[in-house]
Amino acid sequence: MSMRLFHAPASPYVRKVMVLLHETGQTDAVEILPTVVSPMDAGPTLPALNPLGKLPTLERADGPALYDSRVICRYLDDLAGGRLSPSGPRLWDMLTLEATADGIMDAAILMVYENRLRPAEKAMDSIVEAQWAKIVRALDVLDGRWLGHLAGPLDLGQIAVGCALGYLDFRHPGRDWRRGRPGLTEWMARFSERPSMQATPPPEA
Ligand code: 99T
């Protein structure tokens, strides 16, 4: 096996890569390396491969390590024939959709880190709520403008949205992202049934 994936089961970015591996039949091509990181401690081996010390990182035998999740997903999809990266105008839609989903993950993780890393007496609710406001706007846009694209052929954008919504269920279940968004709720219910999603759930919270 020539590729090794620095992996954590709670990471929605890692999940994007795992879902893609399942969807493209490449799970056997990558060795999974369980890795623990936080913004305060990237561990002993990761920074030499990825100076940002983040997961996922993909180590390859025939070139420098790849990061971040968008790069790794494009690379692994390319190895499998590029079926999940459309060409033409749909590519720009897909990349924007993927950026929207990744932005939801970024904000949701900042909320987690704000509570986990900052001492309680220095915690600022306004920072957490400002991040949640970004997520609310992004969810409304997904439910309003993107349902047509989401209903189309599978691509990396849909995978990212599925992993972002799964992460909200995992880390922020009390926020109830489904309320008032029936279209997105229905899409996620169907998307969650894919074997690739069933095979990659986050750990018990
Ligand atoms: O921020 C850090 O230094 C450590 N955090 C990470 O490595 C997280 C793990 S998800 N990954 C990223 O932030 C990657 C973001 C990048 N743009 C990408 O790959 O797309 C941890 C989730 C959790 O524990 O809830």
Ligand 1, CB cutoff 6 Å, lining residues: 10-11, 13, 37-39, 53-56, 68-70, 102, 109, 112, 171
- Phi and psi dihedrals of 96, rounded to 5? -70, -40
**Same domain, yes or no: 117 and 26:** no
Same domain (yes/no): 72, 40: yes
- To the question of pTM greater than 0.95 for the whole model, the response is yes
**Distance in angstroms (rounded) separating the CA atoms of residues 155 and 159:** 7
Q: In angstroms, what is the span from residue 11 Cα to ligand 1's centroid?
A: 7
* pLDDT, one tens digit for every residue, the chain (205 residues): 689 999 999 999 999 999 999 999 999 999 999 999 999 999 999 999 999 999 999 999 999 999 999 999 999 999 999 999 999 999 999 999 999 999 999 999 999 999 899 988 888 899 999 999 999 999 999 999 999 999 999 999 999 999 999 999 999 999 999 999 999 999 999 999 999 999 999 998 5
What CATH number corresponds to the domain at position 61? 3.40.30.10
Instruction: Tell how far the Cα of 51 is from the centroid of ligand 1, in angstroms.
Output: 13
> What is the Å distance from ligand 1's center to 150 Cα?
25
Task: Please give the distance, rounded to the nearest whole angstrom, from the Cα atom of residue 192 to the centre of ligand 1.
Answer: 22
d(CA 159, CA 163): 6
Burial profile 19-29: b = 16 or more Cβ within 10 angstroms, e = fewer: bbbbbbeeeee
Does residue 51 sit in the same domain as residue 132?
no
User: Which of residues 18, 53, 79 is at a domain's end?
Assistant: 79
Q: Are 119 and 192 within one domain?
A: yes
Domain shared by 20 and 75, yes or no: yes
Using the structure block, give the residue that is written with the tokens 């909320």.
111
Taken as a whole, the chain contains a residue count of: 205
Q: How far is residue 39's CA from residue 116's CA, in Å, rounded to a whole number? A: 11
Structural domain that includes position 49: 3-79
pLDDT of residue 40: 92
Q: Identify the bridge partners of residue 3 per DSSP, sorted by sequence position.
A: 30
- In 19-132, which ranges are E strands? 30-34, 57-60, 63-66
* 137 assigned to some structural domain: yes
Number of domains in the chain: 2
Our mutation pick for probing the ligand 1 site, out of 7, 13, 172, counting the most ligand atoms within 8 A of Cβ, is: 13
38 CA: nearest ligand 1 atom: 4
Of 79, 106, 130, which residue constitutes the final position of a domain? Answer: 79
pLDDT score, position 123: 84
> Which of 45, 79, 113 finishes a domain?
79
